[in-house]
Structure 1
């Protein structure tokens, strides 16, 4: 049932970014069930499509997947936010890993919810970020508080060495530190083994470390694992 308040306010214009078309269709259908409160104006399945689509549609809120084969949510934020400061980003991901949450929040997202969220709560979260609130699935808020607090042992707000790495290099490093072989990393990220080797070489050069074991310790110290 539509309330008088909902009748007075304009629908939130939403743009969906996820590399799985079936998932996008499901989200579109779920949000459509909430009447005129939320309107899906476009969608994209890659970083490039997202950048072009967001620039074209100028949505109020972008529902943003974190992991995509060509760069992921952090790359979309990096390329879109400078030219579109009024667009609000809400991460919607299957991942609840601390490093994923922190990466997109540092990139400028206003919130982060997991794909276990109900359609009603998702619509409510979209409305809340559009109105200026920050929204997180319950257990994820603690990651953000830890990362941006000044408590002893908390992750720093800025890490000059970590900031040298591209989003893709961070993804490769995270998997490497978890013990993945190059072939497994390539399969996980939909890239070639040669590309994995190139990214690892670049990370070693930027961090001035010598091998994957030193990289693993370095990544662990920065809570990437």
Structure 2
């Protein structure tokens, strides 16, 4: 933790809590801005462009039932160093839905307010460096949610790898409801070639009809 301090913006609707956090941080972290709600957070983040935003997940002006997300319009803001501003959630909530919501919206980590000052400073530095940081019992929520999604993506990729680039083009058009003649015109190939590609796609994916192909593509969000 040498070099310049990590520049942080604190976002929480309780002023006393923000003051308490500032008092617990060491010299390796510099608080360069504060905000009590989403609208002010957007202004401060865009103005000072910190390395890390430490935010509560239930902010006034947020979306959903409490605003469990990164302030809209801030996910693409960059620091003075040209790196993306990174977000670390600090919340009293350890509910799975809050953890998943804030990570899906772009946060790099999620820790609860029971974290020790030393661990919080460490988490801020790690997030600033690009790591993902979670309180131990929350990591399981993230693995369950995103690990399952990663497995599904890997399965789809494996299935698509069986198809050639041209077969993928034909597959998507057929799954969208194109007739063979329409596919041929779209891809500048003969109807006979389309038929050959469709037969190959069905065989490689172990499907028996265009209807099954459409269902397969829709279930994998390939249309």
Task: Tell me the TM-score normalised to structure 2 length.
Answer: 0.61
Structure 2 unaligned regions, length at least 5: 154-223
Aligned to 2:51: 60
Aligned to 1:116: 114
Aligned to 1:95: 93
Question: Closer, same or farther in 2 for the Cα pair 1:145/1:155, shift >3 Å?
Answer: farther
Alignment RMSD, CA only?
A: 2.2
Question: Closer, same or farther in 2 for the Cα pair 1:75/1:103, shift >3 Å?
Answer: same
1-side partners of 2:22 and 2:77: how far apart? Answer: 26
1-side partners of 2:38 and 2:68: how far apart? Answer: 8
2-side partners of 1:75 and 1:142: how far apart? Answer: 21
The CA deviation string for residues 148-198 of structure 1, in whole angstroms up to 9 with x for no partner, is 1128xx999xxxxxxxxxxxxxxxxxxxxxxxxxxxxxxxxxxxxxxxxxx
Question: How many residues end up aligned between the 2 structures?
Answer: 145
Aligned to 1:164: none
The CA deviation string for residues 195-214 of structure 1, in whole angstroms up to 9 with x for no partner, is xxxxxxxxxxxxxxxxxxxx
Question: Closer, same or farther in 2 for the Cα pair 1:48/1:28, shift >3 Å?
Answer: same
The structure whose residues are more often helix, as a share, is 1
1:74 aligns with 2:74: no
Structure 1 unaligned regions, length at least 5: 157-225
The CA deviation string for residues 59-95 of structure 1, in whole angstroms up to 9 with x for no partner, is 000001000222135151x321134471000000000
Q: Which has the higher contact order (CA 8 A, sep 6+)?
A: 1
Match of 1:42 among 22, 27, 33: 33
Matched residue of 1:101: which SS? helix
Shift of 1:109: 0.3
1-side partners of 2:70 and 2:120: how far apart? Answer: 23
The CA deviation string for residues 116-157 of structure 1, in whole angstroms up to 9 with x for no partner, is 001111001000111111100000000000001128xx999x
